[in-house]
Structure 1
Amino acid sequence: MGVVIAFDGAGEKPKATLDQLVGLTAADMARVNDLILEKAQSHVELIPELAGHLINSGGKRIRPMMTLAAARMCGYQGMHHLKLAMAVEFMHTATLLHDDVVDESDMRRGKQAARVIWGNQASVLVGDYLLGQAFKMMVEAGSLDCLRILSEAACTIAEGEVLQLSASQDTATTEDSYLKVVGAKTAALFQAAARVGAVIAGRPRNEQEALDSYGRNIGIAFQLVDDALDYSGKQASLGKAVGDDFRERKITLPVVLSFRRGNDKERSFWKRVMEEGNQTPDDLVYATKLMERHGALADTIERARHYGSIACDALAIFPESEWKESLIEAVAFCISRAH
């Protein structure tokens, strides 16, 4: 039987949180945070200044916590999982710095993006520095398999960025094509973050693949919820302006579904605002109305729930534990952000 996660409707449970995951990983994360601060240092003053701007901006650090929890769930008792978790977080931070340059974003987590303060060149180069530090930590962890998995993830993420760039502002993008981008650009790091927890613990292949599936599917669910949130008033409470994706002309799943389901007049609207970049102040409101009319936002969340259920099912081979519970709760949290 699949895992059913109720996120809305009458009689739902209290809203899911990351409290259990945060609590269980607190001691390990304190050590990871010390590593992060240490490895973000450099005799080049701009590097810690710019890196610290993003590192200290309040991200939940769900990816490194996932690495820590997966390792502990698999019975790992050593310390190398701390280095892997730090590497995962630096990979994520570098990706954010690079993303903001590519997307020409002005805000990140409710603050000015680093590129706005220090410029595009500095943001890219500091992102590269953090990637270098991440790979040094992977080597120090002493697992060639973990190094391979995270290296492959870095390549996949870059491929996803290029794929998204080549398909940007293209209203002909299909749902399958978009999910391919999401699988590479977002899910790959979740996937690697979870899998290396089992690898560093020396667990068998079936457990490694189970955590691989868990990470991939929670990553897809996470991104789909983000897609929907961009057209929701809830977005402001999460540190982003409503409609950032719209203004940046990103073809996300709500746009794909609305375009496919719309009439000729509506498709002409999407081509004007997304392909031609001819947007007026009222267009975001109209775009949101079209999404509501065609059920695009609701269906995007429903797809996220589907992937969330697959993620939870992937953990079924592991014995019951508070670590397993925390990873399942993380899925519920990712999706419940939409409500």
Structure 2
Amino acid sequence: MDGAQANREDALSAIVVLLRDDMEAVNRLIVRHMDSPVALIPQLAAHIVAAGGKRLRPLLTLAAARLCGYPAGGERHVALATCVEFIHTATLLHDDVVDESALRRGRASANALFGNKPSVLVGDFLFARAFELMVGDGSLEVLRILSAASATIAEGEVLQLMTQNDTSTTEAQYLEVIHGKTAALFAAATRVGAVLQERPAAEEEALDTYGRTLGVAFQLVDDALDYAADEAVLGKTVGDDFREGKITLPVLLAFERGDEAERGFWRRTLEERDQTDEDLAEAQRLIARHGTLAETFARARDYGRQAKEALGGFPDSAEKRAMIGLVDYCIERAR
């Protein structure tokens, strides 16, 4: 492990260690609320939960609540962090069906093992459990924030379907997609931390900005890694976005900067879905030629800077330092 990788892992470890007791409580609650007398539900839900992931979104809820002074040993932030994770997991189940994905975090996806219909229905079950947890919290503001985020995620996914295979997609449309499908839940996850402690509106807005800009940075990095990362590190098949015809920033920039022959390549492979075994390598060559991965990472770092600046009004604390470190981890992961 090189020094940069060690620093990234240290940044993740810092927040995991800081919130270990809270996260253990979240994991227990996840298991409890996945239970059902219908045996396939906990079996399939347990498969995707056991696949791992960093639990970034529930970590953000816990960290934001603690940053705002929510007491250790409380229960509301644990329940809401669990709610956030259920919303995220439900969207993963649905996304893998829509994208016909065979891998999720390096393992066979739930739809590959159990089929599309069970995956969609168990995703619905997890959404329902999330709403039970929201209602159980008793705060109408919490319910408003998380339910609005759930609707926005769905809108983002539908918008992505509308722009898929369309090389005329603009950067503004692309950013609208990732603000919806990714950043909205990051923003809601952090904002509810301030709501729990009834903090001033300015702090709510600051945490919303932190989560939203971190979410955009996270997705920009994801979209770049699909053309650059090692498959074992990425946890899914490299080139999935290309094979599915998704229009992401590295492609948008390469299309804009390419000559007519290069644009013809993108139209054939993404719009017409006419791809050969050699086309992914050619796509990577064109992206490298125009430097669009480096620019995508640079844009991610700019959003990361905005996320850090959003925390400027909060006093120094272990939680604030951990949340700042998490920004660096999300941007520099797998590089």
TM-score > 0.5, shorter chain as reference: yes
| Structure 2 match to 1:3 | none
Task: Give the Cα–Cα distance (whole angstroms) in 2 for the partners of residues 79 and 93 of structure 1.
Answer: 21
| Structure 2 match to 1:264 | 260
Deviations 1:85-109 (A, max 9, x none): 0000000000000000111111111
> Contact 2:84/2:185 (CA < 8 Å) preserved in 1?
yes
The size of the alignment, in residue pairs, is 330
Task: Give the Cα–Cα distance (whole angstroms) in 2 for the partners of residues 15 and 266 of structure 1.
Answer: 39
| Structure 2 match to 1:15 | 7
Task: Give the Cα–Cα distance (whole angstroms) in 2 for the partners of residues 73 and 162 of structure 1.
Answer: 34
Is residue 72 from structure 1 mapped to residue 39 from structure 2 by the alignment?
no
SS state at 2:149 partner? helix
SS state at 1:190 partner? helix
Letter paired with 1:23 = V
Task: Give the Cα–Cα distance (whole angstroms) in 2 for the partners of residues 47 and 131 of structure 1.
Answer: 13
| Structure 1 match to 2:45 | 51
Q: Which runs of 5+ in 1 are unaligned?
A: 1-7
Moved more, 109-118 or 202-211: 109-118
Is residue 185 from structure 1 mapped to residue 146 from structure 2 by the alignment?
no
Identical pairs, percent: 58
Moved more, 245-254 or 233-242: 233-242
- Equivalences for residues 299-314 of structure 1 within 5 A: 299-314=295-310
Moved more, 141-150 or 304-313: 141-150
SS state at 2:242 partner? helix
- Equivalences for residues 224-303 of structure 1 within 5 A: 224-303=220-299
Task: Give the Cα–Cα distance (whole angstroms) in 2 for the partners of residues 233 and 54 of structure 1.
Answer: 22
Task: Give the Cα–Cα distance (whole angstroms) in 2 for the partners of residues 337 and 15 of structure 1.
Answer: 10
Is residue 166 from structure 1 mapped to residue 145 from structure 2 by the alignment?
no
Superposed displacement of residue 112, structure 1 = 0.9
| Structure 1 match to 2:132 | 136
Task: Give the Cα–Cα distance (whole angstroms) in 2 for the partners of residues 247 and 194 of structure 1.
Answer: 34
Letter paired with 2:169 = T
SS state at 2:311 partner? helix
Task: Give the Cα–Cα distance (whole angstroms) in 2 for the partners of residues 167 and 237 of structure 1.
Answer: 28
Superposed displacement of residue 12, structure 1 = 6.7
Superposed displacement of residue 141, structure 1 = 1.4
> Contact 2:245/2:269 (CA < 8 Å) preserved in 1?
yes
> Contact 2:234/2:334 (CA < 8 Å) preserved in 1?
no
Superposed displacement of residue 236, structure 1 = 2.7
Moved more, 150-159 or 245-254: 245-254
Deviations 1:180-239 (A, max 9, x none): 100000100000000001111111100000000000000000000000100113343131
CA RMSD, aligned part only?
1.4
Letter paired with 2:217 = A
Task: Give the Cα–Cα distance (whole angstroms) in 1 for the partners of residues 281 and 70 of structure 2.
Answer: 50
Query: 1:113 is matched with which residue: 102, 106, 109?
Result: 109
Letter paired with 1:32 = V
Deviations 1:16-67 (A, max 9, x none): 2301110111000000000000000100001000000001111110100100
Superposed displacement of residue 304, structure 1 = 0.3
Is residue 30 from structure 1 mapped to residue 24 from structure 2 by the alignment?
yes
- Give the TM-score, by structure 1 length: 0.95
Superposed displacement of residue 142, structure 1 = 1.8
Task: Give the Cα–Cα distance (whole angstroms) in 2 for the partners of residues 14 and 310 of structure 1.
Answer: 24
Alpha-carbon distance change, 13 to 114 in structure 1, aligned in 2, over 3 angstroms: closer
> Contact 1:236/1:242 (CA < 8 Å) preserved in 2?
no
| Structure 2 match to 1:5 | none
> Contact 1:15/1:336 (CA < 8 Å) preserved in 2?
no
SS state at 1:317 partner? coil
Task: Give the Cα–Cα distance (whole angstroms) in 1 for the partners of residues 17 and 186 of structure 2.
Answer: 20
Task: Give the Cα–Cα distance (whole angstroms) in 2 for the partners of residues 35 and 196 of structure 1.
Answer: 18
Task: Give the Cα–Cα distance (whole angstroms) in 2 for the partners of residues 233 and 315 of structure 1.
Answer: 30
| Structure 1 match to 2:196 | 200
Superposed displacement of residue 134, structure 1 = 0.5
Query: 1:148 is matched with which residue: 128, 144, 148?
Result: 144
